[in-house]
C-alpha cells in the first residue's frame, strides 16, 4: 500500500529518506524552511508526517502545526538531540504539543551518504504504541534499509542524542593521533556515559546495545561522513567552535546537545566526564590536549563505578 508521506526538512537526512520512500512507491512531499512555503499545507491528504528538521527547528515547527494537526495523523520523528530550553528530546517536544498524536522515532547507524549510494543499513522504529511501530516497519522498509522495532522511544532518543557528543570526542582523539587503544577506551567509556543518560531518563538498558545505541555510536564515531566526527577533527587541529562549524558548513548537533545534556546532569547530579570535557573545550576553557589529559588523570576506581 502506497502512503502519502510529508517530510519536514530537506537536509541530507530528510532528502535521503524522501528518495528512499519515493523509490519504494510512496507519494512523498518535502518541505524546507528555505522554501518559504507554509508547512501547514502538508497536513492535508497525508497518511504520515515525518519530521527530519534540525533539533533547533523542532519547537517552533511543533507549535506552528499543532493547532491544525489532524487527530488521526501519525508522526515519525527523525531529529536527534536535546532541546536546550525544554531539555527534552524531539519526540517529547512534539508530544507536548500533540498530546493525543501517535508518535514514533526512527534512529540507528544511518549515514545519509551511504544510503544515497545504495549501501545496506538498518534502523529501529521505536514507539510506546506497538501497533504503530509494526505498521511503520511494514510500510517503510526499503530494499537496502532493514527496519527493526522496539518499545523504548525515550532510550532510543537519549542514545541517539548523546552519541553525537561521543562522536565529537572520537574525532578529537583521532585528530590528535592518540591511536586505537585510546579511541577504544574512549568509546567504551562513552557507551557507559550514554547508558547513564538512557537509564536516568527512564530508558531500557538493552536499547544501549541496539542499533540506536552501540550501532549508531560505531558508525558516527568512525566515519568521515559524520559531521560530528569531522567537527571533532577540526577542534583537534586548533579550531574554535565557530571556525569548526564554518568548515563543516552544515548542522552539527553535538555541541548544542553536549551543553543541554550537561545542564540536565547539573540538575540531577549525573556524572558525565566526557561530555564535561567536550563542553569545556567548546567554551575555550581548555584545549584538546588538556581535555584528554583531564580524562586520563581522573581518580582511579573500579570499572563498574567509572
Predicted confidence (pLDDT) at residue 157 exceeds the cutoff of 90? yes
| Residue 290: predicted pLDDT | 84
pLDDT single digits (tens) 83-118? 999 999 999 999 999 999 999 999 999 999 999 999
pLDDT tens digits, 76-85: 999 999 999 9
**pLDDT category of residue 297 using cuts at 50, 70 and 90:** low
Per-residue pLDDT tens for 240-287? 999 999 999 999 999 999 999 999 999 999 999 999 999 999 999 988
Decide if pLDDT at 302 tops 70.
no
Q: Which pLDDT does position 124 carry in this prediction?
A: 97
Burial of 187 from C-beta contacts in 10 A (0-12 / 13-18 / 19+): buried
Mean pLDDT of 216-233: 96
Contact 109, 70 (CB under 8 A): no
The share of the chain scoring above pLDDT 90, in percent, equals: 89
Q: What is the mean pLDDT of residues 184-202?
A: 94
- The sheet carrying 103-107 orders its strands as 27-31, 4-8, 48-51, 75-77, 103-107, 121-126, 145-150
Using CB atoms within 10 Å of the CB of residue 237, give its burial: 0 to 12 exposed, 13 to 18 middle, 19+ buried.
middle
Q: pLDDT at position 166, please?
A: 96
176 close to 236: Cβ distance less than 8 angstroms? yes
Average pLDDT value for the chain: 93
- Furthest CA-CA distance within the chain: 60
Say yes or no to pLDDT of 305 above 70: no
Give the pLDDT mean for 210-230: 96
CB distance 74 to 134 below 8 Å:
no
With vertex at residue 113, the alpha carbon angle to CA 215 and CA 216, rounded to the nearest 5 degrees, is: 10
Cα atoms in the Cβ-side hemisphere of radius 13 Å centred on 17: 29
- Give per-residue pLDDT as tens, 8-66: 999 999 999 999 999 999 999 999 998 888 999 999 999 999 999 999 999 999 999 99
Residue 299 has pLDDT above 70, yes or no: no
pTM: 0.94
Which pLDDT belongs to residue 300? 38
Higher pLDDT, 163 or 1: 163
pLDDT band with cut points at 50, 70 and 90 for residue 298: low
* CA distances for 6 relative to 39, 40, 47, 199, angstroms: 9, 11, 8, 33
Q: What are the structural domains, with CATH classification, of the chain?
A: 4-151 (3.40.50.720), 161-305 (1.10.1040.10)
**80 is a catalytic site residue:** no
pLDDT at 303 over 70: no
pLDDT of residue 301: 53
The CA angle 198-204-209, to the nearest 5 degrees, is 80
Amino acid at each position: 500500500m502506497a502512503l502519502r508521506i510529508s517530510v519536514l526538512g530537506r537536509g541530507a537526512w530528510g532528502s535521503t529518506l524522501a528518495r528512499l520512500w519515493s523509490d519504494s512507491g510512496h507519494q512523498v512531499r518535502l518541505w524546507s524552511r528555505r522554501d518559504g512555503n507554509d508547512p501547514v499545507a502538508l497536513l492535508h491528504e497525508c497518511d504520515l508526517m515525518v519530521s527530519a528538521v534540525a533539533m533547533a527547528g523542532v519547537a517552533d515547527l511543533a507549535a506552528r502545526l499543532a493547532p491544525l494537526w489532524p487527530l488521526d495523523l501519525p508522526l515519525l520523528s527523525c531529529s536527534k538531540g536535546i532541546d536546550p530550553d525544554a531539555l527534552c528530546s524531539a519526540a517529547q517536544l512534539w508530544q507536548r504539543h500533540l498530546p493525543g498524536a501517535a508518535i514514533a522515532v526512527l534512529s540507528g547507524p544511518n549515514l545519509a551518504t551511504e544510503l544515497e549510494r545504495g549501501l545496506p543499513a538498518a534502523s529501529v522504529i521505536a514507539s510506546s504504541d506497538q501497533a504503530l511501530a509494526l505498521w511503520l516497519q511494514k510500510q517503510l522498509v526499503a530494499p537496502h534499509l532493514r527496519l527493526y522495532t522496539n518499545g523504548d522511544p525515550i532510550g532510543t532518543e537519549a542514545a541517539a542524542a548523546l552519541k553525537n557528543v561521543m562522536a565529537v570526542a572520537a574525532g578529537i582523539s583521532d585528530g590528535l593521533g592518540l591511536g586505537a587503544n585510546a579511541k577504544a577506551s574512549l568509546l567504551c567509556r562513552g557507551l557507559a556515559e550514554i547508558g547513564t543518560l538512557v537509564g536516568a531518563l527512564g530508558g531500557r538498558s538493552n536499547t544501549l546495545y541496539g542499533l540506536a545505541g552501540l550501532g549508531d555510536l560505531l558508525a558516527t564515531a568512525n566515519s568521515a561522513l559524520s559531521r560530528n566526527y569531522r567537527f571533532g577533527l577540526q577542534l583537534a587541529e586548533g579550531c574554535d567552535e565557530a571556525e569548526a562549524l564554518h568548515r563543516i558548513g552544515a548542522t552539527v548537533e553535538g555541541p548544542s546537545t553536549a551543553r543541554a545534556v550537561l545542564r540536565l546532569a547539573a540538575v540531577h547530579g549525573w556524572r558525565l566526564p566526557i561530555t564535561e570535557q567536550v563542553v569545556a573545550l567548546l567554551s575555550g576553557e581548555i584545549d584538546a590536549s588538556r581535555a584528554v589529559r583531564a580524562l586520563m588523570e581522573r581518580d582511579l576506581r573500579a570499572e563498574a563505578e567509572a
